[in-house]
């Protein structure tokens, strides 16, 4: 009996040891696997000085060029993905290879190499480092005046050819360019609309109008800006306007501004000179102007924008009394920097001046235009 019990006891010990070893092996394998998962992280690239570097919250790194950062949006150009706009809150790290101009909320501007990391900003200039909290950052632009990233623009073309019962050719050309620095914004916009009947050899002109605007804004603070230069050149054959030139300045205010919505208003004095094609009074009409404007630009989605741009001029009776221009519609982003635009234009002269021996033209001119645009 004693020998039998001893054998049983030995078998029990052996089984216990086998089970214990199996459990330890399983636990060790699981811990090793878990430890391996927790330790792994995306590798940090070697920062080549040929590129700017951007890291997203997802851990992904992009190399390319910093274009600018305004209104909590960072524009970054990559060879693989072209120009991409990122919400600033999605950026965890940013490194520049060129000097940048960094504007802070208190109006101070610093220039140097830029490093953004862990909600902290470092400006390296002349071998020294200056540290700032990221919450104080307002904008980033290139410090090199000849770099193309300071400029952006768009060209659009719309054509409508009718044949049959109606023989008519219509086209509209739009172009705009813009240059931004930490303190200024310079814009030029040009629109030309032409329409003619092709039913006979005379090819009667139905519409011939053009508008060139140019303005320079100086940002005083987050909300207030001064339009120190505001110029408009306008022609309209149907309104009997050979040329109408307006020069002035205004005070601007950002009612609302973030990464999706911009709403500005401007108000200021101007001077206007109007030359008509054919009137009983051959002298040019000169008038003081009170100009009021509002711009509402809303990003409905990453590809669809809504625009409402309205300008109103209070002038003397012989210069039209009230001159207004409205541009509103949608811009849909296609691929490879192309856009499809659907725009409604309204030009109104409250008191049109009639050509000699003719009835006065109508006050309102409407145009609904579908055009294809290219951003550069």
Residue-wise DSSP of 311-358: EEEE--GGGTSEEEEEEEEEEEE-STTEEEEEEEEEEEESSPPPPTTS
* CATH 2.30.30 is the classification of domain 52-144: yes
Residue-wise DSSP of 20-61: HHHHHHHHHHHHHHHHHHHH--PPPPP--TTSEEEEETTS-E
Tokens of 160: 């409508």
Residue of higher predicted confidence among 319 and 200 = 319
pTM over 0.95: no
pLDDT digits (tens, 9 = 90+) for 201-244: 777 888 899 999 999 999 888 789 999 999 999 999 888 899 99
The residue behind tokens 């809504």 is 306
Is the alpha carbon torsion for 229, 225, 108, 104 positive or negative?
negative
DSSP 3-state of 147: coil
Res 8 pLDDT > 70 = no
Residue of 74, 49, 57, 65 whose CA lies nearest to 137:
74
pLDDT digits (tens, 9 = 90+) for 59-87: 889 988 888 887 777 888 887 777 788 88
CATH fold of 149-375 reads: Porin (2.40.160)
Cβ neighbors of 3 (< 8 A, separation 6 or more) are none
Res 3 pLDDT > 70 = no
- Residue 195 pairs in a beta bridge with 170, 207
- Strand segments, DSSP code E, in 220-260 are 224-236, 241-257
Residues 227, 353: Cα–Cα separation, whole Å: 30
Residue of higher predicted confidence among 6 and 106 = 106
What is the DSSP code (8-state) at residue 90?
G
pLDDT digits (tens, 9 = 90+) for 310-349: 999 999 988 889 999 999 999 998 887 899 999 999 999 9
Residues 259, 72: Cα–Cα separation, whole Å: 6
What are the domain boundaries of the chain? Answer: 52-144, 149-375
Res 42 pLDDT > 60 = no
What is the DSSP code (8-state) at residue 306?
E
Residues 158, 305: Cα–Cα separation, whole Å: 19
Cβ atoms of 56 and 90 closer than 8 Å: yes
Tokens of 212: 């060139």
Question: What is the rounded end-to-end Cα distance, in angstroms, of the chain?
Answer: 98
Lowest mean per-residue pLDDT among 14-18, 140-144, 175-179, 304-308: 14-18
Cα 318-321-327 angle, rounded to 5 deg: 125
- Predicted local distance difference test score (pLDDT) of residue 164: 56
């Amino acid at each position: 009996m004693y020998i039998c019990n001893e054998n049983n006891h030995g078998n029990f010990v052996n089984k216990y040891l086998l089970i214990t070893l199996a459990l330890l092996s399983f636990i060790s394998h699981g811990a090793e696997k878990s430890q391996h998962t927790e330790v792994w992280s995306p590798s940090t690239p070697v920062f080549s000085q040929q590129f700017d570097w951007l890291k997203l919250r997802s851990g992904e790194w992009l190399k390319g060029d910093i274009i600018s950062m305004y209104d909590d949006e960072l524009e970054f150009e990559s060879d693989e993905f072209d120009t991409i706009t990122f919400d600033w809150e999605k950026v965890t790290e940013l490194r520049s290879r060129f000097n940048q101009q960094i504007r802070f909320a208190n109006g101070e501007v610093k220039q140097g190499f830029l490093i953004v990391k862990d909600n902290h900003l470092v400006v390296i200039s002349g071998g020294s480092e200056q540290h700032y909290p990221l919450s104080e950052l307002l904008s980033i632009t290139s410090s090199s005046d000849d770099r193309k990233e300071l400029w952006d623009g768009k060209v659009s073309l719309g054509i409508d050819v009718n044949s049959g019962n109606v023989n008519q050719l219509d086209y509209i050309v739009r172009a705009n360019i813009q240059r931004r620095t930490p303190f200024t914004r310079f814009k030029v916009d040009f629109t030309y609309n032409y329409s003619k009947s092709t039913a006979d050899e005379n090819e009667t002109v139905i519409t011939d109008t053009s508008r060139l605007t140019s303005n320079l804004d100086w940002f005083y603070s987050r909300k207030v800006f001064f339009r120190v230069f505001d110029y408009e050149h306008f022609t309209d054959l149907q309104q009997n306007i050979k040329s109408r030139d307006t020069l002035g300045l205004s005070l601007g205010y950002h009612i609302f501004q973030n990464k999706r919505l911009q709403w500005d208003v401007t108000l200021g004095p101007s001077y206007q000179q109007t030359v008509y094609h054919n009137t009983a009074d051959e002298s040019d009409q000169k008038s003081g102007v009170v100009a009021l404007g509002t711009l509402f630009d809303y990003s409905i989605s990453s590809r669809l924008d809504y625009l409402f741009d309205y300008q109103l001029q209070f002038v003397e009776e012989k210069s039209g009394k009230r001159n207004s221009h409205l541009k509103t519609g949608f811009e849909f982003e296609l691929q490879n920097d192309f856009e499809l635009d659907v725009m409604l234009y309204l030009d109104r002269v409250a008191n049109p001046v009639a050509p000699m021996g003719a009835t006065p033209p109508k006050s309102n001119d409407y145009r609904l235009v579908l055009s294809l645009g290219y951003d550069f």
